[in-house]
Structure formats: structure tokens, C-alpha cells
């Protein structure tokens, strides 16, 4: 059933995905709420959210929270109040998101707020039975705080930001940094957005380091750059939610949120997808990206 759900999500067949979720809810015996690892907890058990004070818990990755913040306005249209208990790094973005009445920093223990029902943020579209109209992104939905001083971008060249490494989950997503040096085509200036990049990797890539751990500052950097080329990580979601142009490099068995083929995603219209055709072969992907870059710079 899990594979059927993945296929449904990749195909944008959301009605079928929610039907599978409904069957899972009905058939499974769940442990008590808030027991076990957060990312495995099933908080919402199918109860109505209408007219309730809803606490939205963000128990997965930063990119997951960013992707599913789009559902806060329709959730607020159903609930009488929405509090989002989110990762501290995302507070400046979440508190400015439409549909969010209050944002709190996630921590161990219990949240400092009253609520009638709680739900993990990635379960919200299932609870709403969201269709393509709510899922397809038609306009940027994140608002950044006032711009602060950030690294200067050379406006004499086409500025491209790069991210090649990922967290511990699914290392197949990472691209060897040495491969990215071939993207330094004439007229291109490469910038590293990779947090904690090693000096030797920066030298291999040939990119200037402008990385930051401040996600709001990172958002402003994405807006300054002409293009972002990144692996499947938080930066892809941030760029997409802000409407910034980004090219996302995907391994052969990509995550459920991306189509298994094709260059476009209904989740983020400003993203272009580049898929591995052979598992583990990033060289062919980077060659394709280099060709696309050459075309992109020719067209201005």
C-alpha cells in the first residue's frame, strides 16, 4: 500500500493518495499520541478540524515544513485558529505565513498554547482532502522579513548558487562536488550556498562561499542570484516557495514529492527537474545541466 501511495503522489492523483491514507487510518492500531520518534508519530487520527483550535506540529525536515505551509490558509478557513509549532530556524517565515495565527518554536516537552486538536503539518492536505487546486502553487506563499546586509553578488556575470550535499537521510541525493566545476561555463559566476562546506570542496567546485545558517538571509540570497542549482534538500523548497528559479538534481529513485519523470512539478512551477537515468550516475545529469546552462545564458 505504501508503494501505491508513492505512485499516487508522484502522479498527482491526490484523491487516490488520501483514500489510501484513509484505509491506513482505519486499519492500523496506533500507539498513544506523542510516543516514539517524532517523525514516526501519527498525531491526527481522522478527527474533524472544523471550528477547532488546531495545533500544527512540524516533526519532519525544514523542507517538509516549507512545502506544506501552503496549506495553512485553507486550514485556517476551516479552523477557528491555527498555531504552528515549528523549527526555530523557520519562525521568521512561519509567523508571516497567511493562515497562521501564532508561531511557536519547537522544543522537547509540550507547547505553550491551548488547542483542541493537533496534527502533523504533512498530514494537513489529507485532513483537508486537498485537490490540485490547493496543491498546485500559483504564487509565492512565503514572505521574508526585512532585508539585511548580505554577500554582494557580481552583477557582471550570470550568478548561480550551488548546493551539493544533504543531511543524513538518503545520501543518494548528494552530488560529488568535483563534478560541479564543469558548470563554470563562460559568463557564469558560481556561488556556494552549501552550509559548512569544506575548503577543499569549495576549491573543487570553484565557487565563492556565500552560505548562511540564517534561512531568512538565505531567502534574500536566492532572490539576488539568477539561478540556483541544488540537490533535493531544503534549499529547493525555499526557492520554490519564494518563486525563485532553481534547477533540482534528483537521483533515479527520487522522493515521492517529485514526478518520476519530466522536468516540472505542480508543487513548484519555478523549479526545473533533472533526473538521473541510471542510479548513481551524476555525470550524465551534470552534462545535461551544463548544456542547459549554456542555453540559459545565451537566452539571457
Q: Which residues contact 30 (CB under 8 A, 6 or more apart)?
A: 42, 45
Vertex 215 angle, CA 213 and 216, to 5° = 130
pLDDT at 176 over 90: yes
The Cα 230–Cα 174 span in angstroms is 9
**Distance between CA atoms of 190 and 229, rounded to whole angstroms?**
10
- pLDDT, position 25: 85
Contact 199, 218 (CB under 8 A): no
Task: HSE, CB side, 13 Å, CA atoms: give it for residue 203.
Answer: 3
**Residue 149: which pLDDT band, with cuts at 50, 70 and 90?**
low
Judge whether residue 58 has pLDDT over 90: yes
- CATH fold, domain 2-19+39-135, is Rossmann fold (3.40.50)
What's the fold here for domain 158-299? Rossmann fold (3.40.50)
Mean pLDDT, range 118-144, rounded to an integer: 94
Confidence of residue 1 (pLDDT cuts 50, 70, 90): low
Report the sign of the C-alpha dihedral through residues 199, 202, 208, 212, in that order. Answer: negative
Q: What are phi and psi of 153, to 5 degrees?
A: -105, 135
What is the percent of the chain where pLDDT is above 70?
Answer: 97
- Which segments within 96-149 are labelled E, that is strand? 102-105, 117-120
Domain spans of the chain? 2-19+39-135, 158-299
One fold for 2-19+39-135 and 158-299:
yes
Residue 26 pLDDT? 83
Residue 210 has pLDDT above 80, yes or no: yes
Q: What pTM was computed for the model?
A: 0.94
Question: Residue 29: its pLDDT value, please?
Answer: 72
Q: Between 127 and 152, where is the model more confident?
A: 127
Amino acid at each position: 500500500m505504501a508503494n501505491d501511495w508513492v505512485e499516487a503522489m508522484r502522479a498527482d492523483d491526490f484523491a487516490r493518495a488520501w483514500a489510501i491514507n484513509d484505509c491506513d487510518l482505519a486499519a492500523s492500531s496506533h500507539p498513544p499520541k506523542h510516543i516514539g520518534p517524532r517523525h514516526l508519530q501519527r498525531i491526527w487520527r481522522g478527527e474533524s478540524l472544523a471550528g477547532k483550535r488546531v495545533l500544527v506540529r512540524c516533526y519532519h525536515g525544514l523542507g517538509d515544513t516549507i512545502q506544506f505551509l501552503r496549506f495553512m490558509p485553507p486550514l485556517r478557513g476551516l479552523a477557528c485558529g491555527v498555531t504552528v509549532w515549528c523549527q526555530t530556524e523557520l519562525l521568521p517565515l512561519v509567523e508571516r505565513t497567511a493562515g497562521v495565527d501564532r508561531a511557536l518554536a519547537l522544543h522537547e516537552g509540550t507547547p505553550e498554547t491551548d488547542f483542541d486538536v493537533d496534527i502533523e503539518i504533512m498530514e494537513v492536505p489529507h485532513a483537508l482532502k486537498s485537490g490540485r487546486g490547493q496543491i498546485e502553487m500559483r504564487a509565492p506563499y512565503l514572505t521574508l522579513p526585512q532585508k539585511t546586509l548580505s554577500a554582494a553578488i557580481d552583477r557582471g556575470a550570470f550568478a548561480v548558487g550551488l548546493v551539493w550535499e544533504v543531511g543524513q537521510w538518503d545520501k543518494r541525493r548528494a552530488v560529488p562536488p568535483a563534478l560541479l566545476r564543469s558548470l563554470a561555463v563562460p559568463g557564469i559566476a558560481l556561488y556556494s550556498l552549501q552550509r559548512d562546506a569544506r575548503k577543499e570542496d569549495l576549491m573543487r567546485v570553484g565557487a565563492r562561499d556565500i552560505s548562511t545558517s540564517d534561512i531568512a538571509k538565505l531567502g534574500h540570497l536566492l532572490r539576488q542570484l539568477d539561478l540556483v542549482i541544488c540537490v533535493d534538500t531544503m534549499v529547493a523548497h525555499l526557492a520554490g516557495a519564494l518563486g525563485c528559479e532553481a534547477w533540482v538534481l534528483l537521483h533515479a529513485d527520487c522522493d515521492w514529492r517529485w514526478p518520476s519523470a519530466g522536468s516540472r512539478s505542480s508543487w513548484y512551477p519555478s523549479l526545473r527537474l533533472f533526473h538521473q537515468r541510471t542510479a548513481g550516475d551524476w555525470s550524465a545529469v551534470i552534462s545535461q545541466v551544463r548544456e542547459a546552462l549554456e542555453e540559459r545564458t545565451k537566452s539571457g
